[in-house]
């Protein structure tokens, strides 16, 4: 049995889960946390208690690899690396956008649109203001575009889609993630569906992490870095310049 610890800190959600053969057996979430560093180790401890598994019994540690918040991604990856070093376990890095896309798949296509067509998935992570981080996936969850920033203004959403996807009348475009609400402020396709999955969660990493574990798709713990997409927004102090005067 594959026992995998799942860590999700790419956004405002701080979330930990433990999955056994892809089935989530423990889950801890703080949906709007502003202090991932203080919560994460406590959540890991609680998940271990819920599952009845000692951390030493885990087979691997999987972490959400971004894109997302620079600070929160660093927290998640640092904790994941620390556990892998301490427990001598492999590190699995799960694409945050792919996890959101797969979680956002509708269980059944009930609308006339999509029945005879294809589903395309557009997960979105809020990047502040009118911007999101996004990528397009086809109905087999194959990546059509690499992760990239997209500013949602006027016709930018439609232009972005048509540049990469020739949507037919019966195709459905499924949008998920905490940036999806921004689509409502711009021009979008009639066959765009807003998923019920609005936030990231560690539980969404389980299926991908299991497949990667089975394929021995592991990261080099020493060199792995998440996809920050943007550098941190650091304000430089003026104190040094003032003292030099």
DSSP 146: -
pLDDT score of 5 more than 60: yes
**What sections of the chain are H helices per DSSP?**
36-51, 70-87, 96-103, 156-164, 206-214, 239-244
Question: How many CB atoms within 10 Å of residue 32?
Answer: 9
Tell me how far apart the alpha carbons of residues 209 and 193 are, in angstroms, rounded to a whole number.
Answer: 27
The total number of residues shown for the chain amounts to 245
CA distance 110 to 219: 40
pLDDT of 218: 98
- Report if residue 139 sits inside a domain: yes
Q: What are phi and psi of 156, to 5 degrees?
A: -65, -35
Its pTM stands at 0.89
pLDDT band at 9 (very low <50, low <70, confident <90, very high): very high
Let me know if 113 is exposed, middle or buried by CB neighbors in 10 A (0-12, 13-18, 19+): middle
Same domain, 93 and 128: no
Residue range(s) defining the domain that contains residue 90: 3-97+200-214
Asked if residue 77 and residue 30 are part of one domain, the reply reads: yes
| pLDDT tens per residue, range 105-152 | 887 554 444 455 789 999 999 998 899 999 999 999 999 999 999 999
Of 149, 164, 194, the position where a domain reaches its end is 194
CATH of the domain at 31: 3.30.420.40
In a domain, residue 158? The reply is: yes
Inform me whether the pLDDT recorded for 170 exceeds 60: yes
Residue 245 has a pLDDT of: 45
């Amino acid at each position: 049995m594959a026992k995998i610890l799942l860590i999700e800190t790419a956004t405002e959600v701080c979330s930990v889960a433990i999955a056994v053969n892809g089935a989530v057996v423990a889950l801890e979430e703080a949906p709007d946390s502003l202090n991932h560093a203080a919560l994460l180790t406590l959540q890991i401890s609680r998940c271990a208690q819920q599952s009845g598994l000692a951390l030493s019994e885990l087979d691997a540690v999987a972490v959400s690899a971004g894109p997302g918040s620079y600070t929160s991604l660093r927290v998640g990856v640092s904790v994941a690396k620390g556990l892998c070093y301490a427990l001598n376990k492999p590190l699995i890095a799960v694409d945050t956008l792919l996890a959101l896309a797969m979680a956002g798949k509708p269980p059944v296509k009930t609308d006339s649109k999509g029945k005879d067509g294809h589903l395309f998935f557009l997960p979105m992570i809020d990047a502040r203001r009118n911007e999101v981080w996004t990528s397009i996936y086809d109905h087999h969850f194959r990546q059509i575009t690499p992760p990239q920033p997209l500013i949602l203004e006027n016709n930018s959403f439609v232009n972005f889609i048509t540049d990469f996807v020739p949507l037919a009348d019966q195709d459905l475009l499924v949008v998920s993630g905490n940036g999806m609400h921004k689509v409502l402020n711009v021009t979008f396709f009639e066959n765009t569906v807003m998923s019920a999955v609005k936030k990231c969660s560690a539980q969404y990493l389980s299926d991908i992490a299991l497949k990667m574990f089975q394929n021995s798709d592991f990261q080099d713990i020493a060199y792995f870095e998440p996809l920050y997409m943007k550098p941190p927004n650091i304000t430089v102090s003026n104190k040094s310049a003032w003292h030099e005067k």
